[in-house]
Structure 1
């Protein structure tokens, strides 16, 4: 199965034209004069017809902007102390359907602008988020289609590179201002054991998550990754895989939800956060990783170490050429990784996906930055250990061609065999190339065919190798 925008759940077009909606503004104004539930019913009926009518892109966009205003009007009646009616939940779902239909029309255009596409994706996701929140307020299981479409909207945003495009949309309860943040706000809400929240806590939690939701990251799947974040399968109709589920989907649709920056940010000063919001966030954070979901127990540990940053510097260090290094302090450790504290001004050198060599009291350890967060203490880094022996190698496209530095990561397996992974700068070589590989202190060169990378970041790629 592949993810495709055409899989979005939208109603079929039944009417060739929307002549009955020519006086839309008057219809909506008349509905507001009715008692709340009657006006809501009238507005929902009008939107139902609009979503099943053929309209131009501009007509549909203008109409849906009007319905977004009607949503704001009717939402005011449902605060933390008053649960929403079934009609209001249907209005959220139907408004989401309208924006999904508009999205399909935008995607069918020749050259949709990124801001326009980001706005439509965000609005569709926002009303799905509202439907999710209102189901939780009513202690009802959200429909499976809600998560299928939410994952698909995120996937489209990822492919169109507009996950972090800011969108100005003032809604209550407060929503994150980017598609990434809004989608992750939904994931965090669903991970917060929402059916155990007290009445009125779901919208309070949703709003409290808004300024924090963009901090975590959905990272590409790697089966060797031993971090403890939840696993998201974008092709499944559920927010995250359960603890006992083995990821069986296509790896391109699997993501690890890295929560490290969020867990640190919870302890940062937040002047605009109320005491009740702070207490609620502290209460639900235990559910985000799950009591059994942490793969390795984390232990507080304080020691100094040196960081050799980036593949070229690591290659030089492994050759005892003593490249420049940076000081860092280890704050806690686990068998799978560690948390480091560095100077904040080192941020430009230490993006997520950077390769590191940690030099401390023991054998140097190859590692990768999984997440980062800056606060008053400095730059916090969550690193993943890349287990195995790192060795410097040179690569050539021909026996006497220019050399390129690489790092060979070799891990012993049962018996006398080894697993090898070749780390190279991202994009330097392509799958299928035959390269000449030479180890340090070895004069012979071996021809190795470059297979598909099994781990890629914006900076480096790892290619599995079979060496005789």
Structure 2
């Protein structure tokens, strides 16, 4: 099998007459006056039509530059980790399609200059990277064609000696500034267990990888090489081969993903790197080498169950007030957690870090955190981490007779007697060391306590260790 540019996935030309671009900028300006969703729909329709129309190389290039500026405009609404609508994901994929078609036109011309070719390869790869990132941000599986085209663009850059040609592209989230770095940024993001990331962490990780990704190298593959690292097959529709997947393709298209220099650089001073970026990189780095260790062995355990979602609903359930439940199916379980399958529509209620109460007919209610999630054609897959201990409802007050706030007390027996207590509260409802009054059900007395720093926190809830008499 030979890799060549003709394998790039681009739509057929439906209109042989060249599209008129005379009023394109005017139409794009008018779209900006509409609400974001309507504007995106209008801009996407324009781009969809142009990508399927015959145009000269210069016309297509100018049009795509205009749409790149529109991308910057609309992407600004999602730069703070806000999840974009599916229309924006389609917009990214459609701009990538436009640059792939432009690339074919460049390659069919006479001796393109290396900077021009490098720029077009980079732009096509950038919008594929954006499509990948936004799929992960929405906890959706990227299409297989995305990886086929990404591998092919890397292959073309390798053979055209364009991999390390710097490209000035002021996009957000920040991409690497070469084709090699951008492609490896995508690989590292895909290897970082992206469906386990909390809301908003995918763009943050993508930006954190930008200055580091080009330090990695895809090296020729050698069957006798037993070094750590992943194997990339440039003919496959996946980022890397699974750890236990034997390479079956032509070794000419296999690469060993060497991360040695990158792993060293992670521990070097990086003044422009934020503390959050540093923590996130440290958290995901062990996934890059291909070994995902399980602390507990899992066993199949099919059966119906339900989830009480969120701290307020759990508090009501523990008081037997019967709040609404989310139906789910348990797929497997272990002493440390479980994997569930829910309806896809439940996704907005169940972000990574959500506190839930698992109810099943065969066990006592179990407090848990959503550890990861993945959306596919079967539905929404959830990974739960069990929080061992007895959950109890409590009320919190800022003064003995002030308004009550719900909380959940997690109490775990300690070997030799006594209990460990953890108080679950919504994030940022109270501040550290604030004096609170705590009351248990059927207990008239209230305990006064300063709220300690949390020992476990997610984007939604935090657990504060307590010492209760």
Deviation above 4 Å: which 4+ runs of structure 1? none
Distance of 1:13 and 1:185 partners within structure 2: 32
Question: Pairwise mapping of residues 331-370 of structure 1 onto structure 2 (< 5 A)?
Answer: none
Please tell me whether the aligned partners of residues 21 and 50 of structure 1 are also in contact (alpha carbons under 8 angstroms): no
Query: What's 2:226 paired with?
Result: 226
Q: Can you list the C-alpha shifts for 1:144-202, whole angstroms capped at 9, x where unaligned?
A: 00000000000000000010000000000000000000000000000000000000000
Does structure 1 residue 259 correspond to structure 2 residue 259?
A: yes
Residue 292 (structure 1) shift? 6.0
1:48 equivalent in structure 2: 48
Partner residue in 2 for 1:2: 2
2:283 corresponding residue in structure 1: 283
The SS at the match of 1:21 is: coil
The residue that corresponds to 1:28 in the other structure is: 28
Give the C-alpha shift of residue 233 in structure 1: 0.1
Q: Give the structure 2 partner of residue 243 of structure 1.
A: 243
- Write out aligned runs for 1:90-169 (5 A): 90-169=90-169
Contact 1:243–1:292 (CA<8 Å) still a contact in 2?
A: no
What's the TM-score, normalizing by structure 1?
0.62
Secondary structure of the equivalent of 1:272? coil
In 2, are the aligned partners of 1:106 and 1:112 still within 8 Å (CA)?
yes
Could you tell me which runs of 5 or more consecutive residues in structure 2 were left unpaired when the two chains were aligned.
294-469
CA distance in 2: counterparts of 1:272 and 1:110, whole angstroms: 42
Q: Distance in 2 between matches of 1:210 and 1:19?
A: 37
Quote how far apart the aligned CAs of 1:229 are.
1.1
Partners of 1:169 and 1:5 lie apart in 2 by 24
Equivalent in the alignment of 1:69: 69
RMSD: 1.0
Equivalent residues of 1:80, 1:201 under 8 A apart: no
Q: Which residue pairs with 2:197 in the alignment?
A: 197
1:271 matched to 2:263? The reply is no
1:58 aligns with 2:58: yes
Shift of 1:96: 0.1
Structure 1 distance, partners of 2:80, 2:222, is 41
CA contact (8 A) 1:157 1:179 kept: yes
Q: 1:27 to 1:233 in 2, by over 3 A?
A: same
- TM-superposed CA distance for 1:101, in Å, is 0.1
The alignment of Structure 1 onto Structure 2 pairs a total of residues equal to 293
Please report the TM-score for the alignment, with normalisation by the length of structure 2: 0.62
Q: How far apart, in 1, do the equivalents of 2:161 and 2:182 lie?
A: 15
Rounded Cα–Cα distance in structure 2 between residues aligned with 1:291 and 1:105: 42
In the TM superposition, what whole-angstrom CA distance separates every residue of 1:404-457 from its partner, at most 9, and x where no partner exists? xxxxxxxxxxxxxxxxxxxxxxxxxxxxxxxxxxxxxxxxxxxxxxxxxxxxxx
C-alpha distance in 1 between matches for 2:136 and 2:184: 16
1:76 CA displacement = 0.6
How far residue 244 of structure 1 moved from its aligned partner, in angstroms, is 1.3
Q: Does 1:16 align with 2:1?
A: no
| Correspondence 1:179 to 2:179 | yes
Q: Provide, for residues 235-265 of structure 1, a one-character-per-residue CA deviation record: whole Å limited to 9, x for no partner.
A: 0000000011100101110000000000000
How far off is 1:17 after superposition?
2.3
Q: 1:21 Cα deviation (Å)?
A: 3.3
Q: Aligned partners of 1:80, 1:229: CA distance in 2, in Å?
A: 32
Counterparts of 1:366-381 in structure 2 under 5 Å?
none
Q: Which consecutive residues of structure 1, in runs of 5 or more, have no partner in the other structure?
A: 294-468
Contact kept? 1:191, 1:288, Cα under 8 Å: yes
Tell me how far apart the structure 2 counterparts of residues 180 and 223 of structure 1 sit (CA, whole Å): 24
